[in-house]
């Protein structure tokens, strides 16, 4: 799980964590917008709703092969009754849910997959949900721009380092009396010395193992 990110709406900071590359948004923080003193109660009241149970159950059936549908049906039949009480922990443990998670510690609280969290925000306030979607989209656009910038820098750095290496070969390893074909052979072999040192394989081995990728191994290398 990656370190949490945050978006801010009307002075309310909402945490977002990544679980298996999916974004999970804090229901606890969203509930704070409604009533900061009773966040857990607000989440439980939402969970008691029949529409909520159906949303959670259908989402799990779509994305969670280990979900327990019989237990879901049991909750579905009880939903809406005055005596029915449901906590996030009970839902998770009983149905083997992955759409909602409850955590203790530094980034503790109840989190839900963004699909579910946006529905919870809509139940809290339609206006709040729209602002939340706007801020979430802004966050994702910023992340995308940073990734693109990082890739461009990575590619440029790889090219610079590669030219430094080939210039060193030209100045120090290539005899003056050999022909162009022999020069190309030396370049290829010396370049693969670097490839094996850094990546553990030659350029040809990388291409053979990654037939579905374009470019070369430097395109997929980290800056380090």
Q: Which one is predicted more confidently, 58 or 167?
A: 58
Rounded mean pLDDT, 194-200: 64
Name the nearest CA neighbour of 110 among 49, 37, 32. Answer: 32
pLDDT of residue 11: 85
Task: Look at residue 183 in the predicted model and tell me its pLDDT.
Answer: 46
What CA–CA distance (Å, rounded) separates 118 from 200? Answer: 45
**Average pLDDT in the 150-161 region?**
58
Mean pLDDT of 205-213: 80
β-bridge mates for residue 6, sequence order? 15
Is the pLDDT reported for residue 83 higher than 50?
yes
Higher pLDDT, 148 or 174: 148
Q: In the predicted model, is pLDDT for residue 2 greater than 70?
A: no
pLDDT in tens, 28-58: 999 999 998 999 999 999 999 999 999 999 9
């Amino acid at each position: 799980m990656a370190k949490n990110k945050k978006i801010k709406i009307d002075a309310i900071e909402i945490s977002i964590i990544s679980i298996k590359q999916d974004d999970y948004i804090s229901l606890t923080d969203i509930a704070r917008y409604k009533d900061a003193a009773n966040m857990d109660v607000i989440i439980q009241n939402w969970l008691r709703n029949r529409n909520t149970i159906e949303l959670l159950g259908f989402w799990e059936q779509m994305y969670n092969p280990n979900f327990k549908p019989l237990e879901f049906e049991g909750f579905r039949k009880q939903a809406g009754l005055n005596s029915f009480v449901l906590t996030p922990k009970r839902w998770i443990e009983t149905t083997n849910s992955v759409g909602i998670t409850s955590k203790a510690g530094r980034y503790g609280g109840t989190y839900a997959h963004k699909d579910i969290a946006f529905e919870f925000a809509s139940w809290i306030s339609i206006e709040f949900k729209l602002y939340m979607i706007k801020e979430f989209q802004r966050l994702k656009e910023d992340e995308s721009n940073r990734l693109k910038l990082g890739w461009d820098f990575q590619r440029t750095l790889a090219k610079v380092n590669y030219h430094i290496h080939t210039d060193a070969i030209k100045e120090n390893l290539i005899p003056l009396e050999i022909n162009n074909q022999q020069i190309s052979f030396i370049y290829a072999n010396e370049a693969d010395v670097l490839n094996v040192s850094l990546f553990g394989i030659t350029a040809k081995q990388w291409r053979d193992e990654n037939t579905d990728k374009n470019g070369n191994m430097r395109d997929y290398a980290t800056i380090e």
